[in-house]
Structure 1
Amino acid sequence: MTRTLKVGLVQQPAWPDKARSLAESEAGIRELAGAGAQLVMLQELHATHYFCQFEDTALFDLAEPLDGPTGQRLAALAAELDIVLVGSLFERRAPGLYHNTAVVYDGGHGRVGQYRKMHIPDDPGFYEKFYFTPGDHDAAREEGFTPIDTSLGRLGLLVCWDQWYPEAARLMALAGADLLLYPTAIGWDPQDDDDEKARQKDAWTLIQRSHAVANGLPVVVANRVGHESDHSGIGPGIDFWGGSFICGPQGELLAHAGQQAERLLVTLDMERGEAVRRIWPYLRDRRVDAYGDLTRRYRD
Structure 2
Amino acid sequence: MDKKIKAGLIQQSNTVDTQANMQRLKKNIEECAQQGAQLVVLQELHNCLYFCQTENTQLFDLAENIPGPSTLFYGDIARSLNIVLVTSLFEKRAPGLYHNTAVVFDTDGNIAGKYRKMHIPDDPAYYEKFYFAPGDLGFEPIQTSIGKLGVLVCWDQWYPEAARLMALKGADLLIYPTAIGWESSDMEDEKERQRNAWIISQRGHAVANGLPVISVNRTGHEPDPSGQTKGIQFWGSSFVAGPQGEFLAQASQNKEENLIVEIDLNRSENVRRWWPFLRDRRIDEYGNIVKRFID
Q: Given the alignment, which residue of 270, 278, 288 partners 1:283?
A: 278
Q: Deviations over 1:161-208 (max 9, x none)?
A: 000000000000000000000000000011111100110000000000
Deviation at 1:68, TM superposition (A): 1.6
Q: Is the 8 A contact 2:102 2:115 kept in 1?
A: yes
Q: Is the 8 A contact 1:15 1:47 kept in 2?
A: no
Segments of 4+ moved more than 2 angstroms = none
* Matched ranges for 1:29-40 at <5 A: 29-40=29-40
* Matched ranges for 1:114-133 at <5 A: 114-133=114-133
Are 1:261 and 2:280 counterparts? no
Q: Is the 8 A contact 1:78 1:105 kept in 2?
A: yes
Q: Is the 8 A contact 1:43 1:87 kept in 2?
A: yes
Q: Given the alignment, which residue of 167, 172, 185 partners 1:178?
A: 172
Q: Which ranges in structure 2 are unaligned for 5 or more consecutive residues? A: none
Are 1:272 and 2:271 counterparts? no
What residue number does 1:140 align with? none
Q: Secondary structure at the match of 2:28?
A: helix
Deviation at 1:2, TM superposition (A): 3.4
CA–CA separation in structure 1 for the residues paired with 2:221 and 2:177: 18
CA–CA separation in structure 2 for the residues paired with 1:290 and 1:267: 38
Deviation at 1:17, TM superposition (A): 1.4
What residue number does 1:202 align with? 196
Q: Is the 8 A contact 1:217 1:249 kept in 2?
A: yes
* Matched ranges for 1:1-300 at <5 A: 1-136=1-136, 143-258=137-252, 259-300=254-295
CA–CA separation in structure 2 for the residues paired with 1:201 and 1:28: 25
CA–CA separation in structure 2 for the residues paired with 1:96 and 1:232: 23
TM-score between the two structures when normalised by the length of structure 2:
0.98
Give the number of aligned pairs.
294
Q: Which amino acid aligns with 1:278?
A: R
Q: Which amino acid aligns with 2:36?
A: G
Q: Which amino acid aligns with 2:225?
A: H
Q: Which amino acid aligns with 1:287?
A: R
Deviation at 1:109, TM superposition (A): 4.6
Q: Which amino acid aligns with 1:293?
A: N
CA–CA separation in structure 1 for the residues paired with 2:112 and 2:251: 29
Deviation at 1:23, TM superposition (A): 1.4
Deviation at 1:3, TM superposition (A): 2.0
CA–CA separation in structure 1 for the residues paired with 2:162 and 2:227: 35
Q: Secondary structure at the match of 1:282?
A: coil
Deviation at 1:25, TM superposition (A): 1.1
Q: Deviations over 1:234-287 (max 9, x none)?
A: 222000000000110000001000021001111111100000000100000000
Q: Secondary structure at the match of 1:46?
A: coil
Q: Secondary structure at the match of 1:285?
A: coil
Deviation at 1:219, TM superposition (A): 0.2
For the aligned residue pairs, the C-alpha RMSD in angstroms reads 0.8
CA–CA separation in structure 1 for the residues paired with 2:3 and 2:229: 48
Q: Is the 8 A contact 2:7 2:39 kept in 1?
A: yes
What residue number does 1:139 align with? none
Q: Which amino acid aligns with 2:235?
A: W
Q: Is the 8 A contact 2:77 2:109 kept in 1?
A: no
Q: Secondary structure at the match of 1:283?
A: coil
Q: Secondary structure at the match of 1:5?
A: strand
CA–CA separation in structure 2 for the residues paired with 1:28 and 1:298: 45
